[in-house]
Amino acid sequence: METKNTVQYKCPCCGGFIAYDSAAGKMKCPYCDTEFELETLKSYDESLKNDKSDDMNWISDDEKDRFDGDGDGMCVYVCQSCGGEIIAEETTAATSCPFCGNPTIFKSQLSGELKPDYIIPFKLDKKAAKEALKKHLTGKKLLPKLFKSENHIDEIKGVYVPFWLFDTDSNAEARYHATRTRFWSDKDYDYTETSHYSVLRSGSMSFDHIPVDGSKKMPDDLMESLEPFDFSEAVDFSMAYLSGYLADKYDVSSDECNERANERVKRSSDLVLQSTVQGYDSVVPENVSVQFSGGRKHYALYPVWILNTTWNGNKYTFAMNGQTGKFVGDLPVDKGLFWTYFGSIFAGASVAAYAVFWLLFH
């Protein structure tokens, strides 16, 4: 495994390590409370691009044997504060030193083609994530009674998740099979007449910043559930925003995300065109085609709080949009309460049906 250097932001007042404060929207020193505007660190970021890393490794044959194979997918970084070696996955772009706890950024993961175009900074902190979890558990009638009190939070981490953003203009065409049904009766018969129609629709649309997460570790459905992110609050990427948070670089290429982006464009195009087909009793799409014009891709980091919990020997993962506060996550169901609740609904429906029957025939 190759040993690499790191980036850490130090407070010029007291020498402490500073991190991005989501509440203040500034860099803040937790030791002397000094705050710094992000603009003041941009020139520092520019100078970091010219920094060279040492190449002074002394590895014995024994060490080579120990690293070969075992270190696949891992990297070793040197903490600038304590000199400790930080072993991280090759996709990790920011973390904290396990020895001194200082926020650490791996600049080699964020340079060249790996440098994001945009970043949406965190607006909500860890406390907001904890409160959101409590609110998420409130009012859930089928939740096991002990889950709220015994559900143990293993970790809460703020992660900048890599996203590919897709922009495109498009022309969409669709053909729908629609029907209208008419009923009437005379003294002898009941009649049904069904008319069939082929309905054509077409239109031009523009799609901006369609997000597709570029991390294998993040479930696609979980990330899509956190949408929408407000891209109007995105800013040009600066490493300073990562200080104090975790961050990953993409391990799913933009080309690998094409299919999911295409599906989203096609599904949205179908919904828009189908919404104009009105006045029918049924509408079924037969063909939808989309032609792109000027498709573009961008690379961005979006803020997500991940909460991992344990209850009754099972693991549960929750996530919160670090910008909007939208909270998602699956919950266990008390089977006894489930059958009691739906049994009472069924019993109530049976009583109501019996009452109607008694009124009609007595």
- pLDDT at residue 67 tops 60: no
- pLDDT at residue 61 tops 90: no
Closest CA to 114 of 24, 229, 214: 214
Mean pLDDT of 307-317: 88
Q: Which two tokens stand for residue 258?
A: 């094409």
The answer to whether the CB of 290 falls within 8 A of the CB of 263 is no
pLDDT band at 48 (very low <50, low <70, confident <90, very high): low
Q: What is the pLDDT of residue 56?
A: 45
pTM metric for this prediction: 0.75
Give the number of other CB atoms < 10 A from CB of residue 180.
13
The region of weakest confidence among 25-29, 52-56, 97-101 is: 52-56
Burial of 270-301, coded b for 16+ CB within 10 Å and e otherwise, reads: beebbeebeebeebeeeebebeeeeeebbbbb
Amino acid identity of residue 156, one-letter, is I
Please report, rounded to a whole number, the percentage of residues in the chain having pLDDT higher than 90.
46
Provide the residue ranges of all domains of the chain, joining segments of one domain with +. Answer: 3-115, 126-236+245-331, 333-362
Q: What is the pLDDT of residue 54?
A: 43
Q: What is the pLDDT of residue 337?
A: 54
Q: What is the pLDDT of residue 250?
A: 92
pLDDT band at 73 (very low <50, low <70, confident <90, very high): low
pLDDT tens, position by position, 147-189: 777 778 888 999 999 999 999 999 999 999 999 999 999 999 9
- What is the 3-state secondary structure of the chain? CCEEECECCECCCCCCECEEECCCCEEECCCCCCEECCHHHHHHHHHHCCCCCCCCCCCCHHHHHHHCCCCCCEEEEECCCCCCEEEEECCEEEEECCCCCCEEECHHHHCHHHCCCEECCCCCCHHHHHHHHHHHHCCCCCCCCCHHHHCEEEEEEEEEEEEEEEEEEEEEEEEEEEEEEEEEECCCCEEEEEEEEEEEEEEEEEEEEEEEECCCCCCHHHHHHCCCCCHHHCEECCHHHHCCCEEECCCCCCHHHHHHHHHHHHHHHHHHHHCCCCCCCEEEEEEEEEEEEEEEEEEEEEEEEEEEEEECCEEEEEEEECCCCCEEECCCCCHHHHHHHHHHHHHHHHHHHHHHHHHHHC
Mean pLDDT of the chain: 81
Q: What is the pLDDT of residue 11?
A: 74
Which long-range CB contacts under 8 A does 266-270 form with residues at least 24 apart? 266/290, 268/205, 268/207, 269/170, 269/172, 269/174, 269/205, 270/172, 270/174
pLDDT tens, position by position, 219-255: 999 999 999 999 999 999 998 899 889 998 999 999 9
Mean pLDDT of 73-81: 73
pLDDT band at 55 (very low <50, low <70, confident <90, very high): very low
CA dihedral 138, 123, 109, 10 (to 10 degrees): -120
Please report, rounded to a whole number, the percentage of residues in the chain having pLDDT higher than 70.
79
Mean pLDDT of 286-306: 92
